[in-house]
Amino acid sequence: MIPFNRPYFPGEEIDYLNQSISSGHVSGNGIFTKRCQEYFREKWGFRKCLLTTSCTDALEMCALLLNIKPGDEVIVPSYTFVSSALAFVREGAKIVFADSRADHPGVNEDALESLITQRTKAIVVVHYAGVACDMDKIMTIAERHGLAVVEDAAQAVDGYYKGRPLGGIGHLGCFSFHETKNIHCGEGGMLAINDEKYQERAEILWEKGTNRAQFFRGEINKYGWVDVGSSFLASDLNAAVLFAQLKNLEEIQNKRKSIWTAYQRNLPVLEKCGVGLPEIPAYATNNGHMFYLICDSLDQRSRLIQHLRERNIHSVFHYQALHRSPFYAPRHDERLLPEADRYTACLVRLPFYVDLEVEDVEKVSAEILRFFEV
C-alpha cells in the first residue's frame, strides 16, 4: 500500500527527548520550546513566536487577541479546515465566507472588499498548499478598512510571498505541526505575533491568563491572574521532537520539493483532458506541501480515487466547503460560492511524504495516466 501520508522522523528527536527529560523541565516553555521559537525568529525573521499545542490553538489566541465579540464579523475562505473559522465562532463571531480563486483554491482577493461591513473585524487568509495568497492586495484592503489580517499558514512553513516568509506578513500568523504538515511533532502549532501591539498580551493568554512568563524573566516579583487565556503552550517534549525536524529542514524540504517536481514532470499531459494541476503564481513559491489534481466532476474524482485504491494507492479528497457544513450552513447567507463547491467536489490529493520513493511517484503517476487513458 502506498499511503497518503507517513510521518517522518529524522532520528535526532530521541536524543533531544532524552535531553528534555534529563533537564527536569518537560512542561511548556522549556529549553526546546525556546530553541524552536528562536529558530523561527532567526531563519524567518518573525518578531515574536509562541509554540502552541496546535494551529487551532494559535487561531484561538488570535480571536482573543483581536477581542472578537458576539456580533463581530470575520471573513474566512469557505474552502479551508474547520479551525480557520471555528476559533472565531467560539468568541461569538459571525463568519462571512469568501470564495476561492478560479485558478487556485486560495481566497479570491478581489472578492474580499465586497464582504466588508461596519461589523467586520478581521480577515483570515489561508495559504492553501503552502502557496501564497496575494498579500499586497489583502493588506491594502485591510488597511483601508482598519481590519486585522490573520494568516492561517498551517501548510505554509518555508513558503514565501515576493521573498517574504508566509506567516510573517499579516498582523498574526498561525502554523501547524500536525503529522500531516511539512514539519511536525505529532500535534503542535505556533503563533507568530508580527504586530508589536499584541506581543505582551499574547504571552499572557498563552500562560492561562497569568503573567508567569514575565515573572520567570525576573521582570515582576510575583505572578497572578491578569487576563483571559488558556493552556495554549505545548509540552517541551513536543518541542524536542519539532526541533529535530527544524534541524533537518533543508533535507526535508529538498526531498518534498523533489517529489512535487516529479509529479509535475509526469502529469502535465492531463491538462489536455481538462484536469487541473497546481498553479504557482509568480509572487509565490512552492514549499512542497502537497500535490493535487482537479478533476472535472465529483463522479470522475470518485472513480479516480477508487481506481487508485484498487491498485493499493491511497489518494484523498480535501475540505468540504464550510458554508455548506451542517454546523454553519443554517447561518450562511444566500450567496453562492461556486469555486469552493468545485474544489470540494473535484480536488484530489496524491500520496506525499518525505519517505515516498521515486519509483512510487512513478507508479502513482502511471496509474493516473492509465485512468485518464493518456
Residues that bind ligand PLP in the complex, under the rule CB under 6 A: 54-56, 80-81, 83-84, 126, 152, 154-155, 176, 178, 189
Q: Smaller CB distance to ligand PLP: residue 95 or 270?
A: 95
Of the candidates 273, 52, 301, which has an alpha carbon nearest to the alpha carbon of residue 167?
A: 52
Least gap, CB of 84 to ligand PLP (angstroms):
5
Nearest distance, CB of residue 71 and ligand PLP, angstroms: 25
Q: How far is the CB of 157 from ligand PLP (least distance, A)?
A: 11
Q: Taking a C-beta distance cutoff of 8 angstroms, is the pair 76, 98 a contact?
A: yes
In the complex, what is the shortest distance from the CB of residue 168 to ligand PLP, in angstroms, rounded to a whole number? 17
Min dist. Cβ of residue 173 to ligand PLP (A): 12
Nearer to ligand PLP, 108 or 300 (CB): 108
For the beta carbon of residue 254, count every other beta carbon within 10 angstroms.
Answer: 11
**Helix (H), strand (E), coil (C) string for the chain:** CECCCCCCCCCCHHHHHHHHHHHCCCCCCCHHHHHHHHHHHHHHCCCEEEEECCHHHHHHHHHHHCCCCCCCEEEEECCCCCHHHHHHHCCCCEEEEECECCCCCCECHHHCHHHCCCCEEEEEEECHHHCCCCHHHHHHHHHHHCCEEEEECCCCCCCEECCEECCCCCCEEEEECCCCCCCCCCCCEEEEECCHHHHHHHHHHHECCECHHHHHCCCCCCCCECCCCCECECCHHHHHHHHHHHHCHHHHHHHHHHHHHHHHHHCHHHHHHCCECCCCCCCECCCCCCCEEECCCHHHHHHHHHHHHHCCECCEECCCCHHHCCCCHHHCCCCCCHHHHHHHHHEEECCCCCCCCHHHHHHHHHHHHHHHCC
CB of 349 to ligand PLP, least distance (A): 11
Give 14's Cβ-side CA count (13 Å radius): 3
Least Å from the CB of residue 184 to ligand PLP:
9
CB of 151 to ligand PLP, least distance (A): 10
